[in-house]
Amino acid sequence: MFSEVIDIEHSLQNLTTLKTSDFGKTIRFIPLETTDDGLVGRDPVVKVVRDYIVIESQRTCLLFDKNNGRFITEIGRIGQGPEEYTNIFSWVDEKEEFLFFQRGVNQLIKYDMQGKYGGKVDFFYPQTIASWYLLSDSEIIGYFGGPAHQMQFSIGFFDKEGVLVDSVPRLIQKEQIIFDEILNMTVLRGNNPFGNWARAGSMVITYKNDTKQFFVPNVPRVWRHNENIRYKEEFVDTVYTLSNRKLVPTIAFNTGKYSWTYEESRSGVNTNERIYIADVSENDNLFFFQCVKGMYADEPILYHGLYDKKTGETKVGKFSDGIEDDLTRFMPFIPSGMSTAGEFVALVEAYNIIEWLEKHPEAKDNDKLEFLKELDEEGNPIIILIK
């Protein structure tokens, strides 16, 4: 018996415009300090932890103070040196003392929040980096998803030295990438029609038989919520809780007539009305999710939704409509996920705000939007936190 049922089918037939008050009671705007050493590049990915804001963009990982937006330092460097990482994407440990980065095909290296190198973890089996990690002092949990990972397990439990000690079998058997049958591959970055799920980039693989396959790295299919560890596999409409390294069904997404099974996952035939649940996160009060209708259609439609744990109500709106700010009357914006403290996080580029201000000059007189008075079109983005 599921403890929660999120009714996407009914909500898709009764769309609404989501508002900031649906997400929380307070909203903070944090302008990130603009310095020569701390310039945020294109297509940034934002992560907010207890005391810091982490921004990954192009070839840099930058750290800012969560309290005031002050630039602190650049964390490590991308490269081939012994203390350099090969992928800009990072994971934070449970105590939020270190950021871990991929180095090569089977190694993680870590830096503390002052940018000091802190050591490495080698994985001898499997000799590949997971799609996502949860890291603590005693254990490393890795999720191995997508067509790039072909092990018989989807979740691996490692000791702090990187030795595999246990695993959870796959819920579904993955189809491998068939390189000889590939017709073309399209790489998507930055603004894409698939939302937070593909925030770190994605690749659409089209085969000669006109079927398609997505390769999306760094998807958070496992996450912590308080003392629980959740797991949501692609094309499976159930969220599981990991208990004693076993999967316990906990939350169900009711997609009804829009259901899209893994057996049809590569088919673009008769799937334009099917729903793919792309991204899920939660705090004490809400589940936030994004889903795509017609993922292989010429114009897929992205939705975002909220499930209220207390009332059992599900609300779904079109991603393109943004979130209406009924708390401060700021421009519509899109949450990019949650902080480790359960705050909803959004990043808005300064030049986008300038464009909005040209149509809404009265906003500069709004006492709740004081940051607008010092806005620089060429400055760093603004971070928004809703709690």
What domains are there in the chain, each with its CATH number? 4-386 (2.130.10)
**pLDDT at residue 201 greater than cutoff 80:** no
Report the pLDDT value the prediction gives residue 1, as an integer from 0 to 100: 62
d(Cα 203, Cα 119) in Å, to the nearest integer? 31
Cα Rg of the chain, angstroms: 21
336-365 residue pLDDT tens? 999 999 999 999 999 999 999 999 999 999
Per the model's pLDDT, the better-predicted residue between 265 and 315 turns out to be: 315
| Mean per-residue pLDDT of the chain | 93
Report the pLDDT value the prediction gives residue 190, as an integer from 0 to 100: 65
Report the pLDDT value the prediction gives residue 149, as an integer from 0 to 100: 72
Report the pLDDT value the prediction gives residue 90, as an integer from 0 to 100: 97
Report the pLDDT value the prediction gives residue 263, as an integer from 0 to 100: 82
Q: What percent of the chain has pLDDT over 70?
A: 98
Phi, psi of 269 (to 5 degrees): -90, 125
Report, as an integer, the average pLDDT of 238-263: 94
Gap between the terminal Cα atoms of the chain:
30
Report the pLDDT value the prediction gives residue 17, as an integer from 0 to 100: 95
**pLDDT at residue 177 greater than cutoff 80:** no
d(Cα 205, Cα 214) in Å, to the nearest integer? 6
Report the pLDDT value the prediction gives residue 305, as an integer from 0 to 100: 97
Confidence of residue 150 (pLDDT cuts 50, 70, 90): confident
Beta bridge partners of 156: 142, 167
Report, as an integer, the average pLDDT of 237-243: 95
Q: CB 249: neighbour CB atoms within 10 A?
A: 12
Confidence of residue 200 (pLDDT cuts 50, 70, 90): confident
Q: What percent of the chain has pLDDT over 90?
A: 77
d(Cα 128, Cα 125) in Å, to the nearest integer? 8
Report the pLDDT value the prediction gives residue 191, as an integer from 0 to 100: 65
Report, as an integer, the average pLDDT of 208-217: 84
42-85 residue pLDDT tens? 889 999 999 999 999 989 999 999 999 999 999 999 999 989 99
* Closest residue by Cα to residue 279 from 192, 184, 341: 192
Scored b (16 or more CB within 10 A) or e, 194-213 reads bbbbbbbbbbbbbbeeebbb
- How far is the CA of 261 from the CAs of 48, 148, 264, in angstroms? 33, 20, 6
Do the Cβ atoms of 143 and 222 come closer than 8 Å?
Answer: yes
* Closest residue by Cα to residue 42 from 248, 211, 240, 199: 199
